[in-house]
Chain A
Amino acid sequence: MKSGRYFTIFALLCLAQALISNYFLFSQYVLISLLPLLVMSLPPRYGTPTALLLAFAAGFVVDFIGSGTLGLSIVALLPVALLRLPILRLISGDEILSERDDTPASHQSPSGLILSLVLACLLFFTVYVWVDAAGTRPAWFNLLRTFLSGLVSSILCVLLSSFIFSRSR
């Protein structure tokens, strides 16, 4: 995948996320985020430092445009960017990282893709929900919110990933 195409997708996903944050609020138990997909689809040639900077930028844009608290998405997205390569290596092996110029989603098996996105979403929402609650909500609420948000967002991310990157497969 060319860098230009990836960054176009990156910008569109940021915009989509800002719209979701502003207009698609279903329940206090369910949050939707496409940001984990944005980070996990970054080609392996971009190392962790680049991924961290992109995650920071994406989180900032989404928080700034969206109705979220400034800094909240960044705090949650940075751990995903930090653990992006270890998650990919854990689930799909070192081979996935040898395809340096293409998005990992193009070369992962369906189960690998689902698993890596589920892990990324759960990591993202674990931090997001915990920081958002700021010690004011009970643990069971946070756990349920993390689980439901992770589940819904994972499904959405997998569907979007299949749609966007299907031509590359």
Chain B
Amino acid sequence: MPGGRRTSSTVIVSAAIFIILEVAALAMLHSSSVLQDIWLNRASHRVSGWLWSRGNRITSYFQLSSRNRLLEEEIARQGEELRKYRSLEKSEEYLSKAQAYEDGFDYIFARIVKMGTNSQRNYIIINKGSLDGVTTDCGIVTGEGVVGVVDAVDPHLAYGRTLMNPSMNVSVRIGRDGLAGPLSWDGRSSKGAILKGMPLGTVAQPGDTLWTSGYSAIFPADIPVGIVKGSRTHSGVSLDITVELLQDFGSLDYVTIVRNLNLEGIEALEKSMEEKKR
């Protein structure tokens, strides 16, 4: 083989022969001297330790998605428990503990398949449908707040309006014991909402938290929704309160669907009352 010609195949062959012969020489050294044996062992342990730690980091990186999902599930589960405990705490003066613990809602964990945030009528599609127990008029929430309401379901998917939709409003209360009113999107930013038509004497300080009131049949009470940013009078007769939503719609991956277990009973009762009025 000519020494002056450097083709890539020659380089590869040379490198391979070099590595093989060096390994052979190191093996000889390993077996012929105790000192070099210890040194080589120490070096190999260092290298293998380094490789293992790097390997673990890479494995952890690829497990991030599944771990994130587990965390989201855990957050959803704890959020559900927290709401039950809040319900228990709030109603213990009136109800027995057994009654209070059952808040009448079922919680279903789901992943977002598609969600719009850039139009005036934003929607959400989630990966749970009627086969999973999702029905229309189920609420969609996360640990950070309210997301929307289910409008239509098929066996495996559900379609809903998000709070970033003018036709959607949520009954909220200012603070734990304040007045309740309908909160809707301000139509401008993903974090902005407005609580319209509140009485002029309503106490709403900037920084106060808004919670779901529980008056609607869709959302359980005491889910945090937003924070009061300010207020202004409307035509001198009512107060409009500007709100910053807690839910960041730009970073959503998982949600919890809340299904009112008494919804059919409530609707039947409402229907019979309307018929009586007629």
A residues with a Cβ closer than 8 A to B are 43-50, 52-53, 55-56, 59, 63, 69-72, 74-75, 78-79, 81-82, 85, 94, 97-98, 100, 131, 134-136
Q: List 13 A-B contacts (CB under 8 A).
A: A44-B3, A47-B1, A48-B10, A52-B17, A59-B25, A70-B31, A71-B25, A72-B36, A74-B21, A82-B18, A85-B4, A100-B2, A135-B42
Q: Which residues of B contact A94 (CB under 8 A)?
A: 4
Q: Which residues of B contact A44 (CB under 8 A)?
A: 2-4
Pair B29/A50 contact, Cβ less than 8 Å: no
Interface residues of B in 19-36 (CB under 8 A from A): 21-22, 24-33, 35-36
Specify the chain A residue showing the minimal Cβ separation from B27: A71
B residues with a Cβ closer than 8 A to A are 1-4, 6, 10, 13-15, 17-18, 21-22, 24-33, 35-36, 38-39, 42
> How far apart sit A63 and B33, CA to CA, in the bound complex (Å)?
12
Specify the chain B residue showing the minimal Cβ separation from A84: B3
Q: Which residues of A contact B35 (CB under 8 A)?
A: 134, 136
Q: Report if A69-B2 is in contact (Cβ < 8 Å); known contacts: A78-B21, A82-B18.
A: no
> How far apart sit A90 and B260, CA to CA, in the bound complex (Å)?
82
Question: B24 CB to closest chain A CB, in angstroms?
Answer: 8
Question: B31 CB to closest chain A CB, in angstroms?
Answer: 8
Question: B136 CB to closest chain A CB, in angstroms?
Answer: 73
Question: B45 CB to closest chain A CB, in angstroms?
Answer: 13
Given contacts A50-B1, A100-B2, 18 further A-B contacts (CB under 8 A): A47-B3, A48-B18, A49-B10, A49-B14, A49-B17, A52-B17, A59-B25, A69-B32, A70-B32, A71-B28, A71-B30, A72-B29, A72-B33, A72-B36, A82-B15, A85-B6, A135-B39, A136-B39
Looking at chain A's contact residues, the main secondary structure is: helix
Specify the chain A residue showing the minimal Cβ separation from B21: A56
Q: Which residues of A contact B15 (CB under 8 A)?
A: 82
Looking at chain B's contact residues, the main secondary structure is: helix
Q: Which residues of A contact B18 (CB under 8 A)?
A: 48, 52, 78-79, 81-82
Specify the chain B residue showing the minimal Cβ separation from A45: B3
Q: Which residues of B contact A56 (CB under 8 A)?
A: 21, 24-25
Pair B10/A47 contact, Cβ less than 8 Å: yes
> How far apart sit A91 and B3, CA to CA, in the bound complex (Å)?
16
Pair A97/B4 contact, Cβ less than 8 Å: yes
> How far apart sit A78 and B24, CA to CA, in the bound complex (Å)?
11
Pair B29/A70 contact, Cβ less than 8 Å: yes
Q: Which residues of A contact B27 (CB under 8 A)?
A: 71
Specify the chain B residue showing the minimal Cβ separation from A77: B25
Question: A154 CB to closest chain B CB, in angstroms?
Answer: 23
Pair A134/B38 contact, Cβ less than 8 Å: yes
Pair A98/B1 contact, Cβ less than 8 Å: no
Question: A55 CB to closest chain B CB, in angstroms?
Answer: 8
Pick the residue among B3, B13, B36, B39 that contacts A85 (CB under 8 A).
B3
Question: A8 CB to closest chain B CB, in angstroms?
Answer: 21
Q: Which residues of A contact B6 (CB under 8 A)?
A: 85
Q: Which residues of B contact A72 (CB under 8 A)?
A: 29, 33, 36
Q: Report if A134-B28 is in contact (Cβ < 8 Å); known contacts: A52-B14, A78-B21, A100-B4.
A: no
Q: Which residues of B contact A48 (CB under 8 A)?
A: 3, 10, 14, 17-18
Pick the residue among A43, A71, A81, A100 that contacts B29 (CB under 8 A).
A71
Specify the chain B residue showing the minimal Cβ separation from A134: B39
Pair A53/B17 contact, Cβ less than 8 Å: yes
Question: B114 CB to closest chain A CB, in angstroms?
Answer: 57
> How far apart sit A48 and B12, CA to CA, in the bound complex (Å)?
11
Q: Which residues of B contact A134 (CB under 8 A)?
A: 33, 35-36, 38-39
Q: Which residues of B contact A85 (CB under 8 A)?
A: 3-4, 6
Pair B22/A78 contact, Cβ less than 8 Å: yes
> How far apart sit A71 and B161, CA to CA, in the bound complex (Å)?
75
Question: A114 CB to closest chain B CB, in angstroms?
Answer: 21
Q: Which residues of A contact B29 (CB under 8 A)?
A: 69-72, 75, 131
Q: Report if A97-B3 is in contact (Cβ < 8 Å); known contacts: A74-B21, A75-B26.
A: yes
Question: B41 CB to closest chain A CB, in angstroms?
Answer: 11
